[in-house]
Structure 1
Amino acid sequence: LKDPLPFREAISALHDIVISDLRYVPKDKSALEEHQKRIAQRETAIRQGAATARREELRAESLDPMPEGLEAEHRIARDKYWRARQRYSDHLIRNDQSLWRKLMPCDPVITVAEDSLLFECFSADESSYGCLTASRDLFDDVTDVAPGTTNVDYSWNLYDHFQGLRSYRQTRFQLDPTGFEVATNETLLDAPLENSAYQAFGGQHREEKIDLPSTWLRGFMQLQSAMVMPMKRVRIDRSGVYNLLAFLTRSRAKKSPRAIRFQMEPGKVPQMVLEPWEQVISTGTVAYEGIADVIRIWGRDRLQVLRRLLPLIDYVDVYLIGTGMPSFWVAHMGDLQLVLGLSGWTTNDWSGSSAISQLMPPMHVAENELVEIAAAFRADASMTFERLAGGLSMPRPKIAAGLNTLAHLGQVIHDLPAQTYRWRQVMPEPVTSEQFGPEDPETAAAHEIEKSGRAKATRDETLPSGLRLIEGKADRDGLEILLDGDGRILKAKCSCSHHFKYGLRKGPCRHLQALRNKVISTSTQPATLERWYQQYWN
């Protein structure tokens, strides 16, 4: 590694993405819960004593006493185990984050390409994506290189080892299918690992390959498929990034909306407007070239990971798909580029997946066509869309749909800094639906209701308070939804059993989801492949 310091800062920012978890954490009510638990235990003991006495009386009267309820005992023991496991996890988060971090499934994917080295990661709350691209020019000596992909755990030990990178020490990376190793010292890089002088100058650290959890794969692939889509680009200079982060650090919105609104007009410098303050921040001096548009995105609190990179950043390119869709912030730092993908939701739940699903092609691509597209990458693992389309005989809409599908299967990645598509296999074989894990049944049922046309809105009104009131039906009459400025459901009304039992605590029921998807603008999906291509790609 020629210059370790920029790499140290960039890879440390990637670690901030890995451990990022902005999910809501309720107040600590452990003392109250413990008091209530003791009261409940006393009441339970009294009831159990009375029940036991009565049961003994009945057994004495019965000629054929009933056996003990094994199923009930099993259910009680299982509930006790999961409650204890959740309490232990919460305890580690508050008191021993190092141990909690070692137990977390946060698994960076490392890819060796012909011209670069890629480190990809996904945040703990599955809402942020990071990709650090290191150019081959960043390294002095590169030997025994073969393209491939592996995944390791970005542990605290590995993070601490990266903090030891210095300009006066040589740094060596070693990657193989089983893991990733970093070695630092001054002059003894070729010395044996057991050499005491080698250990004194920094030593080495190795992370072994680990398995990827299904929820990680689902969210990771959703953002990967979104990255493949063509996007509008807005360039922000370093001062614009500083002004944005400085204002967000000083200010804290107490009510919605909390979006960044990009206002783009051809020939003019784009502007960022921070809601709800309506604070205008200029992106710099580069004029926008394209069709006039206004796009609102969410997830701005996660931009704070860029603070550490401000001294290194030359400029940042922001890639936008549409309102409520993921956005990608590409920080250019010479031979290093960091891609920060913001999904726009805090947890990888129904609201995010329903929006992402609208980007998918409206029809499946045949397996033989996917094989043909994949075969084109054998000659060159990195190609632009124009070059790929020129080498294939199938129509451009089919190629675009094929790239989207391959990205969702973990086989292709869109390299935004280089504006090329790379062949990158997260898994040795294409990811299957079984590895993704089952889709939420309420969300799946909502898609079915919406596709069959059984959802209909009878009222869609913006109230004086700025909230949006929606009334309608979706397999049930009398549905009501109240949305805030960010499109989130604040209150809802439905007569189904799911809503009666859980309310909104486990996400809206299928009927509310279907009605919401019917009326929000992001749910309008092209009916044909040609229209999909014209809307997103052309």
Structure 2
Amino acid sequence: MANAEVTHRYREFAAPVGDSEAYLLDLPLDGARPAVEIKANIQRPDLIRDGLLVLGEVLRSDLRHQAQDRADYLAYLLKQGKRANQAVWDAQKTFLAAKYGEATQQEAPLDPLFSVSADGIAIEVFSRDESTYARLHLKAGSAYQSDAHTAGTSHLRFTPPLLEALAGIRSYRPLTLHGQPSAAGDAKTVRVPYRWLRAFGQVQAASTLPAERVRLAPVDLYNVLLSLRLRKAKTAPRALRYELVPGQPPRLVLEPWEQVLPASGAPYQGAVPQVVRTWGRQRLSLLGRLLPHTKAVDVYLLGAGLPAFYVLDLGAATLTLALSGWTDSGWAGIATFDLFAPGNTDELLGKRLVKQLAEQPQTLDALTATLHQPRQTVRQALLTELLKGTVIYDIASDLFHHRPLTAQPLDLEQLRYRDVREEQAHRLLAIVEQVQLTRIHDLGLDGTAIDGEVQDRQAHRQYQTSFTLDREGRTVKASCTCHDFRRAGLKQGPCPHMIALRLRYAREQAALEQARETPEGRKLIRAETRTLTRRQGESVLSYRISLDERQILLRWGNDPQTLRQQRLLFNRAEEARNAYFERLDGLAKQGFIDASAA
């Protein structure tokens, strides 16, 4: 995968100066970018301290599997006279040096972004493993007072001396923050993977999707963190589940213990009862430091496999934490990223849009009225600019801001696909009927098995591909008859044919979900499985109803391990389909919540 070369220049961070009556925190900003400067008297030093320390923890978080260096162990074997010769040891050292040595240390994510505008200071970080995004917005006039500033966007490096200085901030001591560009210092060029830049833009684009908003009290989030701290899940699933019933407070359920934590916030205002399952709950512990400052927590739930956004109202500031639901090595992003594929947009419209936002942050409706363009056209242009990194969407205020991710514009073609394999998968999908789903089998508690056939007409080859999704949406088994899989299996990730089949399955599931809301669309459904649940105190009664051509399979009970079962056969597929939807509608009237998409 290609890299973007980015040059930084920082002076050395100087320890804060001051006495017991004052504390000056001088932040060295990137001198290789246009000048950005602000000097502000902080009104809430303790809030600024904790907010910046949380950003530092997000930046350091990395959930990916870390490879172990076995060179020392091989050296030990040599000393013991074991069957590990010098050639093996030298080959191991060469491999580790090439993969993790000085040659690759320059490949790194972007440093945190430091933006200054009339309405405040915004600092953004994105973790190395592409799983966690955070944005701290300090409100001008509430969090700080400043007589003058130079607006723009720069970079800030979180070094150990800076983190030590932040930990030394005290609420009783006046704090002055001075961010200014580095005039001195050596310029250093780093190679930022386009894969990382693309994921950064994808999280931004995801924030613009329709979402279910849930209001929690700070104590609700505290109860979740305390429960996770006291218990450790040893079996799957390990999700944080939201059970939403209109007019009732949300219920938070911790899996696999099915521990119910009733929320004390506002009742759910949605129109339809539903269950939303979210992942990455352990990363919520990053917010623990800020809970004493939090007035309310707004959770934006986008759906299964999509990011979940937690917006903390800190009074004088706002922190937005996005948990992406995938990591660098995960399969989940393959299907999720496909939702944000940039389309063909007018470059002139994009420039006009960026110019408008550079003057003042605006909502989508305001931009539509100002540019005199259809709403969908403006939204597609915004999506493209979000992926390019020129625009950011603040989900807390519902405003789009101009914020260049890098000093030089990014190449959109480099951001279009995650890697060469994904590009090949999209090439296969571009031709109709090249990728076909042949069988979708519901495995109950074990997940779903998907079989397919991929015809690569360009290579004159045909492949049999399959994979299995567990209850957490992860790919636990996969196979393909192609040469890449036979040679390396899944050690190098999914092959293009697996990715193509995964994308095809995700697209068809989304199309079916949309079509089933209309009578015409229901007639097209020949096979599917829905799960409905109803909570009665501590117990949960669940129904799993499967339609497969002319038969319906019913499974119900309070214990997922011992469900009762009934199979119904019909003379015609139409009769089975009508009976299937009648049962679903009847259960919905009885208060059951559709948990199929969770």
**TM category, shorter:** 0.7 to 0.9
Give the gaps of 5 or more residues in structure 1: 46-75, 90-99, 181-205, 527-538
Q: Is the 8 A contact 1:178 1:208 kept in 2?
A: no
Q: Is the 8 A contact 2:220 2:264 kept in 1?
A: yes
Q: How far apart are 1:337 and its partner, in Å?
A: 1.1
Q: Which residue of the partner structure matches residue 3 of structure 2?
A: none
Assess, with a 3 A threshold, how the Cα gap between structure 1 residues 27 and 411 changes in structure 2: closer, same or farther. closer
Alignment equivalent of 1:337, drawn from 310, 313, 318: 318
Partner Cα separation in structure 2 for residue 207 and residue 271 of structure 1: 53
Q: Which residue of the partner structure matches residue 27 of structure 2?
A: none
Q: CA RMSD in A?
A: 3.1
Q: How far apart are 1:385 and its partner, in Å?
A: 1.8
- For residues 168-216 of structure 1, give each alpha carbon's deviation from its aligned partner in whole angstroms, at most 9, with x where no partner exists: 3332222345489xxxxxxxxxxxxxxxxxxxxxxxxx99997571343
Question: 1:146 and 2:150 equivalent?
Answer: yes
Q: Which residue of the partner structure matches residue 12 of structure 1?
A: 53
- For residues 113-165 of structure 1, give each alpha carbon's deviation from its aligned partner in whole angstroms, at most 9, with x where no partner exists: 11110010011322110111101124554133122000122111111111111
Q: Which residue of the partner structure matches residue 83 of structure 1?
A: 96
Assess, with a 3 A threshold, how the Cα gap between structure 1 residues 490 and 296 changes in structure 2: closer, same or farther. same
Alignment equivalent of 2:481, drawn from 487, 495, 504: 495
Question: 1:426 and 2:398 equivalent?
Answer: no
Which letter maps to 2:43?
Answer: K
Partner Cα separation in structure 1 for residue 191 and residue 315 of structure 2: 31
After TM superposition, the structure 1 = structure 2 runs for residues 411-490 of structure 1, keeping only pairs within 5 Å, are 411-433=390-412, 436=415, 439-452=418-431, 453-475=433-455, 476-490=462-476
After TM superposition, the structure 1 = structure 2 runs for residues 261-410 of structure 1, keeping only pairs within 5 Å, are 261-292=241-272, 293-347=274-328, 351-360=332-341, 363-380=343-360, 382-410=361-389
- SS where residue 473 of structure 1 aligns? strand
Alignment equivalent of 1:514, drawn from 500, 504, 508: 500
Partner Cα separation in structure 2 for residue 7 and residue 350 of structure 1: 37
Which letter maps to 1:455?
Answer: V
Q: How far apart are 1:372 and its partner, in Å?
A: 2.4
State the TM-score, normalizing by the size of structure 1.
0.77
Assess, with a 3 A threshold, how the Cα gap between structure 1 residues 252 and 520 changes in structure 2: closer, same or farther. farther
Q: Is the 8 A contact 1:152 1:207 kept in 2?
A: no
Which letter maps to 1:3?
Answer: R
Assess, with a 3 A threshold, how the Cα gap between structure 1 residues 219 and 40 changes in structure 2: closer, same or farther. farther
- For residues 297-337 of structure 1, give each alpha carbon's deviation from its aligned partner in whole angstroms, at most 9, with x where no partner exists: 21111111011112111111111222111111111111111
Q: Which has the higher helix share?
A: 1
Which letter maps to 1:364?
Answer: N
Assess, with a 3 A threshold, how the Cα gap between structure 1 residues 356 and 434 changes in structure 2: closer, same or farther. closer
Partner Cα separation in structure 1 for residue 136 and residue 69 of structure 2: 37
- Percent of aligned pairs with the same residue? 31
Assess, with a 3 A threshold, how the Cα gap between structure 1 residues 231 and 467 changes in structure 2: closer, same or farther. closer
Q: Is the 8 A contact 2:45 2:175 kept in 1?
A: yes
Give the gaps of 5 or more residues in structure 2: 1-41, 456-461, 513-598
Q: Is the 8 A contact 1:217 1:435 kept in 2?
A: no
Partner Cα separation in structure 1 for residue 279 and residue 424 of structure 2: 26
- SS where residue 300 of structure 2 aligns? strand
After TM superposition, the structure 1 = structure 2 runs for residues 22-171 of structure 1, keeping only pairs within 5 Å, are 22-25=63-66, 32-34=73-75, 42=85, 81-84=94-97, 86=99, 105=109, 107-171=111-175
Partner Cα separation in structure 2 for residue 10 and residue 221 of structure 1: 23
- For residues 250-288 of structure 1, give each alpha carbon's deviation from its aligned partner in whole angstroms, at most 9, with x where no partner exists: 222223222222222322222222222222222323122
Partner Cα separation in structure 2 for residue 416 and residue 208 of structure 1: 35
- SS where residue 292 of structure 2 aligns? coil
Assess, with a 3 A threshold, how the Cα gap between structure 1 residues 348 and 156 changes in structure 2: closer, same or farther. farther
Q: Which residue of the partner structure matches residue 69 of structure 1?
A: none
Partner Cα separation in structure 1 for residue 189 and residue 160 of structure 2: 16
Q: Which residue of the partner structure matches residue 201 of structure 1?
A: none
Assess, with a 3 A threshold, how the Cα gap between structure 1 residues 211 and 141 changes in structure 2: closer, same or farther. farther
Moved more, 105-114 or 261-270: 261-270
Q: Which residue of the partner structure matches residue 244 of structure 1?
A: 224
Assess, with a 3 A threshold, how the Cα gap between structure 1 residues 521 and 233 changes in structure 2: closer, same or farther. farther
Q: Is the 8 A contact 2:453 2:464 kept in 1?
A: yes
Partner Cα separation in structure 2 for residue 43 and residue 331 of structure 1: 56
- SS where residue 137 of structure 1 aligns? coil
Assess, with a 3 A threshold, how the Cα gap between structure 1 residues 26 and 86 changes in structure 2: closer, same or farther. closer
Partner Cα separation in structure 2 for residue 405 and residue 318 of structure 1: 25
Partner Cα separation in structure 1 for residue 303 and residue 403 of structure 2: 26
Q: How far apart are 1:295 and its partner, in Å?
A: 2.3
Q: Which residue of the partner structure matches residue 256 of structure 1?
A: 236
State the TM-score, normalizing by the size of structure 2.
0.70
- SS where residue 220 of structure 1 aligns? helix
- For residues 401-443 of structure 1, give each alpha carbon's deviation from its aligned partner in whole angstroms, at most 9, with x where no partner exists: 1111111111111112222111111223432147759731212
Assess, with a 3 A threshold, how the Cα gap between structure 1 residues 481 and 323 changes in structure 2: closer, same or farther. same
Partner Cα separation in structure 2 for residue 399 and residue 248 of structure 1: 42
